[in-house]
Amino acid sequence: MPASGKAHYAWKGDAARTETKRARAQRMYQLGPCDSCGKPATDRHHRDDDTGNNAPENIGILCRRCHMLEDGRLDAFKQVAAANAAKLRARAPRPCRVCNAPSRVLSKGRCHNCAVYWWRTGEERTADRRGPVRGSGNHNAKLSEADVVAIRSAAAGGESASETAARYGIRRGAVWAIVTRKTWRHVP
């Protein structure tokens, strides 16, 4: 079995790098519940900030939040997050260069919708391609606006969804979505 620890030929002791000293602590101390709050622990905390001091009384087993609180990093993190949020709130939305819609997040001057269209098709949206094509103008539509009005009136007249679905060649769920106005909302 190869030598390990102080018997290893490359042992550097206190001259080792900080990462190496932390790795020693990880091998020496198993994680369990957090010493402060009892949640599952994720970190080993060196109480005297000397990563080479791996004595049991110097090591605390802590969860990430308690470790950041102990080191004072949690308050600094919250301050930076609050400052970034304030910057985002203060920044006025800019118009999209394609559709002029105000947007905080722009990709090469495009709002989200214009950018997605550009990524998918490789071309810019134009005035005739400003969003989803509704109703019978959609190439996948099986129904027309007149069919939707007829389906709603049939449901109001007491016809079952199964009969209506069979008559129009659609699913019962599609009939339900039309009657409850989950789909085809633009049709009165």
State the pLDDT at residue 164: 93
State the pLDDT at residue 100: 80
- In the predicted model, what is the mean pLDDT of residues 36-42? 93
State the pLDDT at residue 154: 93
Task: Give the residue from 142, 143, 145, 109 showing the smallest Cα distance to 125.
Answer: 109
Least confident of 61-65, 75-79, 120-124, 136-140: 136-140
Q: Is 38 contained in some domain?
A: yes
Are 41 and 101 contained in the same domain? no
Q: Is 188 contained in some domain?
A: no
Beta carbons of 158 and 120 less than 8 angstroms apart = no
Are 124 and 155 contained in the same domain? no
Are 126 and 149 contained in the same domain? no
Q: Is 151 contained in some domain?
A: yes
Are 127 and 147 contained in the same domain? no
Are 120 and 141 contained in the same domain? no
Task: Give the residue from 44, 26, 27, 48 showing the smallest Cα distance to 35.
Answer: 44
Q: Locate 14 and state its tokens.
A: 């206190």
Q: Is 83 contained in some domain?
A: no
Within 10 angstroms of residue 60's Cβ, the number of other Cβ atoms is: 18
Say whether pLDDT at 38 is over 70: yes
Say whether pLDDT at 184 is over 90: no
Rounded percentage of the chain residues whose pLDDT exceeds 90: 40
Q: Locate 133 and state its tokens.
A: 């094509």
Are 170 and 127 contained in the same domain? no
Are 142 and 99 contained in the same domain? no
Q: Is 45 contained in some domain?
A: yes
DSSP-H helix ranges across the chain: 18-28, 64-71, 73-90, 112-121, 145-156, 161-168, 172-179
Cα gap 41→61, rounded to integer Å: 6
Cα gap 99→102, rounded to integer Å: 9
Say whether pLDDT at 188 is over 90: no
Are 121 and 139 contained in the same domain? no
- C-alpha triplet 100, 104, 107: angle, nearest 5°: 75
Q: Is 13 contained in some domain?
A: yes
State the pLDDT at residue 109: 83
Q: Provide the pLDDT confidence category of residue 88 given band limits of 50, 70 and 90.
A: confident
- Structural domain range at position 116: 92-131
Are 146 and 158 contained in the same domain? yes
Are 121 and 161 contained in the same domain? no
pLDDT tens digit sequence for 101-149: 888 777 788 888 888 888 888 787 765 555 555 677 666 788 989 999 9
Are 21 and 69 contained in the same domain? yes
Are 11 and 63 contained in the same domain? yes
> pTM (2 decimals)?
0.44
Q: How many domains does the chain have?
A: 3
176 vs 114, higher pLDDT: 176
State the pLDDT at residue 23: 87
